Structure 1
Amino acid sequence: MTTAIAQERQAAELTTRQDGARVIVEPKGDWVMEAVGRFDRRLRRIESETDPKDLVIDLSGLGRIDTAGAYLLGRTLSRCNEPASDSHFIGEHQTARRMMGEMRERLADCPEDEVKPRGVISTLARIGEGVEDGLKETVESFAFFGRTFTTGLSVLMVPTRMRWTSTIHLMETAGVDALPIISVLSFFIGAVVAFMGASLLETFGASVFTVDLVGIAVLREFGVLITAILLAGRSDSSFTAAIGSMKMQQEIDAMKVMGLDPYEVLVLPRVIACVVMAPLLTLSAMVAGVFGGMLVSWWTLDISPNFFLTRLNDTIDLKHFLVGMSKAPVFGLVIAIVGCRHGLQVGGDVESLGRRVTTSVVQAIFAVIVIDALFAMMYLELDI
């Protein structure tokens, strides 16, 4: 059988003939990779010695052709003003001219890199590009939030459309599974705040105010901020990676073909899971942070747990706890929106996925810190 196939193949040949001023190149047989290498030097000589407008290729005797053969023949006409013109071809072939055109397009010389200005102008240009990109990202994030909000309203009108199974599963993976790391880290944050407060306040004979410092710092700021940053690094990246991998494998396109809305199937459950679980995780972070501060106070200042809790209850207003808890749902919403938006913008390659995951985490942490600063200024103006 192998011998029969070999006999069906036609040996590659190359001849030339003169027709007036025209030089006609006649490729014959099968111009495939393993057979055409020997014609490279000869074709280069023909190309260099002949006026480009006089080159003609006769395709009538050409058999099979692959990209290697198409490259050699197409290169011969590369110096012509119109290499795809009918004036440069004789005879017909089913695929030769199309393949030669595609090879020319893919092997076209890349334009030289634009020389960018340096110094102050370059610095200002980069700053301007950064500001423009930041404004664009902000507008796109608000647009994505608006689309998610309208999707939520439409689902609220028909509750049976809600994906409760996936929502509960995401609450477990994004919330319950994050509880140990958030509690442990908040415990040490509370311990560090108490230790620094004890070292500083003890020199003024006011070590008892360490309780107030731990209570206000953990309940008002550190508990919710540590929770949001860990969610941004843990859950936000997983949202982007999960949705992005589905985008790469064209699963989201398949959803659209089936009549399913990706915002309803993928985005809304993640948003609800983050908004619901963020306050619960913040509460656990507050408890762990206060517990860590209490242990350090007991160890370094000999403040008993009973006295610590009593003073905490007497001196720390409930408003500090409510301020911290009021931020948690907002942070959860921002983290979910950023993660899902970048997941849906992943391209078709792994590099795009990695770039989007990194950008998603950075933007989520940046947004959390900026919003926390806005909350701080707002509550300061409201004297809360």
Structure 2
Amino acid sequence: MTEPSTAHRRQGLAPRLAGFFGIPLLSALAPFIILPFVSRIAGQTGWGDIVAAQAIGGFGAIAVTFGWGIFGPPAVAQTAAEHVRQRLYRDSLVVRGLATVFVLPVCLLITWAVVGPHHLTDSLLMAGALTLTGLLPSWYCIGIGQPMLMARYDVLPRLAAALVSVPLMLATHTIWPYPVLTTLALVLPTAMFTRRILAGYDASAEPHRSLWAVLRQTAATAGIDAAGNAYGSTPVPISTATLSPADGSAFSSADKLYRVGLTIVVTSIGNAFQGWVLDPAAADRRRRQLLAMGAHAVTGVLGLVFLATLGPWVTGLVFGTDVAAHRAAAAWYGVAFLFISLSTPLIRNLLIPSGRGRFVLAGTIASSILGLALMGWGAARHDATLIAFGLASSEVLLVALLAGPALRLLPPAAATAGRSAS
């Protein structure tokens, strides 16, 4: 058996939430284990460089994924045919492998151009390791509703790499053990997962398709990812290149706390709800959609309050008082957190599954243009608050553009009359 049965995949919401919230919570422990050591080894002059390299690597991972993180889960969730799911996974390997060949050198070159000389090797290794995370199979685990598979082949190996790297970093007073071990912890498990999923798959039995046809499957969602991350991943590289080392490091701390929060909360809740909401056997689809949107809204408000009020204190405690986030930037990151929480179910549960990828891409491009323009203005003024405001404005505009069309795609209320959630 290559993966859990369809019956197993159709589990209730509570187990999904427990798994997809608890597993990313373990994943989020890695930054809190590692980054306090990294920030203190790098110091005020190097912390911004390391975070910039992580941001560049994060954008590289999105490019390597080439839209499969958005397209893949609903595509897998809405089919029960094992050979179709295997074909989808194989297609993703072809596309993501090809993307890696082009994206990895570009990310390393950008990192070399942006960061300073003191931690150049560490920064290059960090950017490379994070770029390769685009090869991880988490999207497939989300689609089949199996968080434990994601834990086994993604989260736990990387958490183990973080734990092992701590004594090596302390012994050498260098940062390189962390990205090197992280790379090993994602390449080897991904190879094992691939062997498991594709066991018994006969590619020759499938109709022949050109590489272009394989690429076209996720072209629109790849554009959405690229456009969204054009403004989502650029604040730290921009701040590192244009602000003083002290201000750039403080800005990087706000950004890092924001992204850890997205991983723990927004991503995990989105992953938990997506397969459940899109389950083809569900009889109460409208109620499930509304419940998902409500959960994301509450999550977003809590994240906004946390970042705006406790962000400076938490970053000072975790990363060091000399690189603690400034309150104004942390508050705008909180606004961004709220609106990315609101947009997540609209995109992942309504628009993309309904074939509105091009519409989402157009809205994301418009948001990117606004965000990048404001960030460029902030960079020219050497104003960290304005750069953070640019990120928040992008997310606000995206929700404003997508909300109406997405809500019109909600299933009719009559479809759930007299029924209860499974």
TM-score between both structures, scaled by the size of structure 2: 0.29
RCO (CA 8 Å, sep 6+): is it higher in 1 or 2?
Answer: 2
More strand by share: 1
More helix by share: 2
Larger Rg: 1
TM-score between both structures, scaled by the size of structure 1: 0.31
